[in-house]
Amino acid sequence: MIFFIDFLRALAMALITNSHYTGVYPTDLIANGGLLGDVIFFAVSGFCLSNIKLPFHKWYFKRIMRIYPIIWIITLFYLAIGAYRYDSVIIFAREMFIPVGYHFVTSIMLLYIPYYLFVYLEKKYGESYKGKIDLTVFTIAAVLAAWLTVYLFFYDRSYYHIDNVREPMIRFLYFEAMLIGYYIKKHLELFENKKGIFKWIITFGLFGTYFASKMLFVKKPSVSSLQILNQYVLLALLIGVFVCVASLSDRLDKLPDFIKNIISYLAKITLEIYVVQIVIIERFRYLKFPVNWIVITAIIVAGASILHFVIKSPQLIKGKLKKKDS
């Protein structure tokens, strides 16, 4: 794996986790950046899954077995200690297979389907249209058009809620992020290790514009009809972050090994960090700052590490047995 992708994945999880730290900091203004982390994560997924070779049923089953055992184990554990309670068996079963409590999981499992179709069509017909039209760019534009159509004709624009991750509308944003990740992987030579300060200036400008526009739409309901612009700025910011980090690829590779190992390990356990954190934050947020931050962060990483070990232990045992037999 290209190390700058590990860096981006760890950065995404840091942003997502930080956004959940409401009640931890002296002011909740610091507990922000979650949606930026989400789109970085989806873009990384599009980048990493750009070379699909398996038939859909085998590929999708592999995705299920990567994600769902983590959900099942943590759900059963938190249920056993009383952190989770379900009103009925039906709700419990839904959470085990359609875990709405983990919005990222439901979104990624749904978006894997159109993403697979896109990759299949791009691989099959992309070369035929080379020089005429870039099918990735065309698909990005088509999704933007569909997104805008839904927004204009079916979306409630009377108040600001377009960045609500519990609403289906957010999946247009996530899918665009996946397509952007695919495009960057396809044209990586245009972005990797490219020097220059202009892209940094633009990205920092977009960062300020994104958060300023979010504040504007929250505080000024009269302009809420334009809230989709906030999402478009976020996509531009995503591109800027991805391009800037890719431009540092060679420098990131030169980091001390112990730092790279920490980043790569955090990148490896990002899903585990995501699923364990909410209960831990709820239990310890009321300690005094910064003790609460230190305790919460340490327990989240420790809990995620244990969960990761439990998930990977059958593979480790199998590997040791094979080595012993040989």
- Token pair 């439990």: residue: 310
Alpha-carbon distances of 143 from 108, 154, 239, rounded to whole Å: 17, 16, 17
List the one residue out of 79, 74, 27, 64 whose CA is nearest residue 274: 74
Q: Residue 99: its pLDDT value, please?
A: 85
- Token pair 């909740």: residue: 28
Q: Residue 68: its pLDDT value, please?
A: 94
Q: Residue 289: its pLDDT value, please?
A: 94
pTM across the whole model: 0.93
Quick check: 182 and 119 in contact, CB under 8 A?
yes
Give tens-digit pLDDT for 133-154: 788 999 999 999 999 999 999 9
List the one residue out of 164, 139, 169 whose CA is nearest residue 153: 169
Quick check: 264 and 6 in contact, CB under 8 A?
yes
Counts for the chain of helices (H) and strands (E), in that order: 13, 0
Give tens-digit pLDDT for 256-315: 999 999 999 999 999 999 999 999 999 999 999 999 999 999 999 999 999 999 998 766
Confidence of residue 75 (pLDDT cuts 50, 70, 90): very high
In the structure encoding, which two tokens stand for residue 210, read together? 């994104």
Quick check: 210 and 233 in contact, CB under 8 A?
yes
Quick check: 163 and 35 in contact, CB under 8 A?
yes
In the structure encoding, which two tokens stand for residue 52, read together? 């699909």
Confidence of residue 174 (pLDDT cuts 50, 70, 90): very high
Give tens-digit pLDDT for 78-124: 999 998 888 888 888 888 888 878 889 999 999 999 999 999 999 88
Kindly state the percentage of the chain with pLDDT values over 70: 94
List the one residue out of 277, 32, 26, 18 whose CA is nearest residue 163: 32
Q: Residue 101: its pLDDT value, please?
A: 82
**What's the rounded Cα separation, in Å, for the pair 295 and 299?**
6
Quick check: 31 and 296 in contact, CB under 8 A?
no
